[in-house]
Structure 1
Amino acid sequence: MSDDVIHDRDADDAEAHEPPRPRRKGIYILPNLFTLAALFGGFYAVVMAMNGSFEQAAIGIFCAAVLDSLDGRVARMTNTQSAFGEQMDSLSDMVSFGAAPALIVYEWALKGLGKPGWIAAFVYCSGAALRLARFNTNIGVVDKRFFQGLPSPAAAALIIGFIWVMDAAGWRDAWNVEWLRWTAFALTLYAGLTMVTNVPFYSFKDVSFKRTVPFIVIVAIALGIAVINIHPPMVLFALFVVYGFSGYAVYAYKRSKGKPVSVIATSTDEPDEAGLHR
């Protein structure tokens, strides 16, 4: 028997024993449309800020936050979750709630502080990147009822909400107003550093839209929409200020009651988990 025949048989046997290659999964359109729309909101906000339209920039970020809250729920409700969607969502969040707010607040006020201003903006931007990376790596071990640190959309809303309120009140050229510059500086540092803490913030992920609710809940939602329409910048900013400090209130309450404050749900015996439970 020739060497060529033996070689062909060996090749056929090797191919027969090769495990079947996994089929490449397609990309689901519906949830990724929401993600792309959220990404556009962040990009639009940066463009508007560059043109001095900070009200439109704020609206862009808040629209991105709403769309970001919907893409995951839509994917779960339609059973269209995918690894591609998860990665796309993280990249969109980094642009819309990391880079965009940092650039907007720098353009609005922090550029008037010189070096401290861009350092504060960078602290916020890097805090958002670190928070998103930690979220992706800890997603399987964190208590789903709570976020580990301030979520990036809420951090962005805290900063952008302040800009929107001040802009609506008629404060222009904030970079040239001393108290506005330093207030924006403090708020930017607070939001950036709180994103990378282990402070628990309620995630609202245990709220199900498939359950029936009492009629009074629908009435309360209608009243809430009416209240927001009274003065959207002020009401939305107030809501996110309350949420932005709520984690520390929960942390202090749990500490005072002797309850565990960590949102990590796994054992502390593993050496790789050192520092996660503090």
Structure 2
Amino acid sequence: MEEERGKLVYILPNLFTAASIFLAMLSIFASINGHYASAIAYIILSLIFDGLDGRVARLTHTTSKFGVEFDSLADIVAFGVAPAVLFYFVIGKDYGQVGTLISALYVIFGAVRLARFNVTVGTYEPNVFIGLPIPTAAITIAVWIGIYLKYEVSSVWGGVFIIGMALLSFLMVSNIRFPSFKKINLKRPNAIKILVLLIVVFFSCLYLFKLEFPAFIILLYIGYGLVRAGLTLIEVKFNKQNKEN
């Protein structure tokens, strides 16, 4: 009995990963059939299950190399293929070969991002990501596609979305650092109270603005990374000039 329970605990996090893949496939099928709102919802649900698998593995002490590899394969389907298919059927197909190319490059760059993460994890500071995480890129696509459909944005803006998709692809394989929030210190004074307040505010805004608020938060997150990279580059050049002088 104990042995069976042990096997069940080991399988549990992988079941969450499998659920993430299943939801991603539902998203792909929904996009193909023109059910874009459902496709977006499935991507978001897939993200939730993807977040749970790692946490369940750590809580049950069942992390494994197999689980890490399985999770990466799930991510390329859930956050690479599914968002790319959604983007293609909503916007990309109207731009012919350019739309096809941009959608395909997103998946390729997403795979490169995951491969690089797997081989470099633990080699840099844990409070940052090197390159935009693929789940963030996927949610960015899903939310902005939702806004595009909700407000029936003019097709003229489709070109802007094409450029945005290309930018997301580039950011995933860039060396720009984005905050990870993995090492938040909850032992600081009033940290729990502040966290609870932020959660209440977040879900309140999310309830009122289901698409607009996440889109705004994502823009802040990406913008922070870009501005930080720009300031760092300026500082490096300034220090270099001072040394030369």
Answer yes or no: is 1:144 the counterpart of 2:121: no
Q: 1:224-235 residue pairs with structure 2 within 5 A?
A: 224-235=202-213
- Indicate if the aligned counterparts of 1:158 and 1:240 stay in contact, CA closer than 8 A: yes
- In the TM superposition, residue 249 of structure 1 has moved relative to its aligned partner by 1.5
Q: 1:20-59 residue pairs with structure 2 within 5 A?
A: 28-59=10-41
Counterparts of 1:36 and 1:236, CA distance in 2: 26
Q: Secondary structure at the match of 2:199?
A: helix
- Farther off after superposition, 211-220 or 130-139: 211-220
Q: Secondary structure at the match of 2:173?
A: coil
- Indicate if the aligned counterparts of 2:137 and 2:168 stay in contact, CA closer than 8 A: yes
Counterparts of 2:173 and 2:25, CA distance in 1: 24
- Indicate if the aligned counterparts of 1:35 and 1:88 stay in contact, CA closer than 8 A: yes
Match of 1:183 in 2: 160
Match of 2:195 in 1: 217
- Indicate if the aligned counterparts of 2:40 and 2:143 stay in contact, CA closer than 8 A: yes
- In the TM superposition, residue 74 of structure 1 has moved relative to its aligned partner by 2.3
Counterparts of 1:139 and 1:39, CA distance in 2: 23
Match of 2:100 among 118, 122, 125: 118
Counterparts of 2:187 and 2:150, CA distance in 1: 38
Match of 1:64 among 46, 65, 81: 46
Letter in 1 for 2:45: C
- In the TM superposition, residue 255 of structure 1 has moved relative to its aligned partner by 2.9
- Once the two structures are superposed, what CA deviation does each residue of 1:29-70 show, in whole Å capped at 9, x if it has no partner? 222122122212211111111121111111111222222223
Match of 1:18 in 2: none
- Farther off after superposition, 179-188 or 80-89: 179-188
- Farther off after superposition, 91-100 or 136-145: 136-145
Counterparts of 1:216 and 1:122, CA distance in 2: 42
Q: 1:1-278 residue pairs with structure 2 within 5 A?
A: 28-170=10-152, 178-207=155-184, 213-258=191-236
Name stretches of at least 5 consecutive residues in structure 1 with no aligned partner: 1-24, 172-176, 260-278
Q: Secondary structure at the match of 2:129?
A: strand
Match of 1:272 in 2: none
Letter in 1 for 2:174: T
CA RMSD of aligned residues (A): 2.2
- Once the two structures are superposed, what CA deviation does each residue of 1:179-201 show, in whole Å capped at 9, x if it has no partner? 23212211110111110001001
- Once the two structures are superposed, what CA deviation does each residue of 1:94-144 show, in whole Å capped at 9, x if it has no partner? 001111111110011110111111011111111001111111111131222
Counterparts of 2:126 and 2:106, CA distance in 1: 24
* Residues 138 and 238 (structure 1), Cα distance of their counterparts in 2 relative to 1, 3 Å cut: same
Counterparts of 1:49 and 1:126, CA distance in 2: 20
- In the TM superposition, residue 208 of structure 1 has moved relative to its aligned partner by 6.0
- Indicate if the aligned counterparts of 2:185 and 2:191 stay in contact, CA closer than 8 A: no
Q: Secondary structure at the match of 1:201?
A: strand
- In the TM superposition, residue 213 of structure 1 has moved relative to its aligned partner by 3.6
Q: Secondary structure at the match of 2:178?
A: strand
- In the TM superposition, residue 77 of structure 1 has moved relative to its aligned partner by 2.3
* Larger Rg computed on CA atoms: 1
Letter in 1 for 2:41: I
- Indicate if the aligned counterparts of 2:130 and 2:176 stay in contact, CA closer than 8 A: yes
- Indicate if the aligned counterparts of 1:55 and 1:168 stay in contact, CA closer than 8 A: no
- Farther off after superposition, 219-228 or 86-95: 219-228
- Indicate if the aligned counterparts of 2:131 and 2:173 stay in contact, CA closer than 8 A: yes
Identical amino acids, percent of aligned pairs: 32
Higher helix share: 2
TM norm structure 1: 0.76
Letter in 2 for 1:149: G
Name stretches of at least 5 consecutive residues in structure 2 with no aligned partner: 1-5, 238-245
- In the TM superposition, residue 209 of structure 1 has moved relative to its aligned partner by 7.1
